[in-house]
Amino acid sequence: MRLSAYHGNIGRAETEDLLASMGKDGSYLMRDSETVPGAYCLCILNQTFVHTYRVSETSGKWSVQTLKGVLPRYFSSIENLLAMYEKPDQGLVVPLLYPVECKTYKIQNRNEDLQEERKYMELLGK
Q: What are the structural domains, with CATH classification, of the chain?
A: 12-118 (3.30.505.10)
Q: pLDDT for 62-101, tens place per residue?
A: 999 877 777 889 999 999 999 999 999 888 999 999 999 8
For the chain, percent helix, then strand, then coil, each to nearest 5? 15, 35, 55
Residue 71 is classified by DSSP as: P
**Which percentage of the chain shows pLDDT scores above 70?**
79
Q: pLDDT digit string (tens) for 15-32? A: 999 999 998 999 999 999
How many angstroms separate the CA atoms of 121 and 124, rounded? Answer: 9
Q: What is the pLDDT of residue 2?
A: 57
pLDDT tens-digit readout, 47-70: 999 999 999 998 999 999 877 777
Q: How large is the C-alpha radius of gyration of the chain?
A: 15
